[in-house]
Amino acid sequence: MLVGIVAPALIAIMQNWPWMSLASLLAAALVFGVSYPQRYETGPEALIIKAGLTTRAITYAQIKGVKPSDDGRLAIDYGIGNVLIAPQNAAEFTEDIAKHAPQLSRRGQELVLAAVN
């Protein structure tokens, strides 16, 4: 992603296209301003995901599962889809979600919907 944003800006600068340079740099600022930095908090009622200028709250009742992904992040499955996050301590973060989400039960490193009797 970084190359796709930076390369056009460098080409525009080298070709002396000031407006194209400005547009590329503004696009880069927009992408990184909305995406980074990322923080994750387990609040009393919801998982809070802060990414740049955006904040998303996923209530614990919406969470259907938490599992490690292949690239070391956590996949949070919830009502309308899923989101990948990268907390500093995935095991501690998963345990904290488990404390707030009684509908989930532990299966190895994953949290899954508990069986309904």
19, containing H or E segment = helix 18-35
pLDDT, position 117? 55
The pLDDT tens digits for 89-114 are 999 999 999 999 999 999 999 999 98
Amino acid identity of 63? I
Closest to 109 in 3D by CA, of 96, 117, 95, 33: 95
- Is 34 exposed, middle or buried (CB count within 10 Å of its CB: 0-12, 13-18, 19+)? exposed
Percent of the chain exceeding pLDDT 90 equals: 52
Amino acid identity of 24? S
Q: For residue 13, give both structure tokens.
A: 């600068």
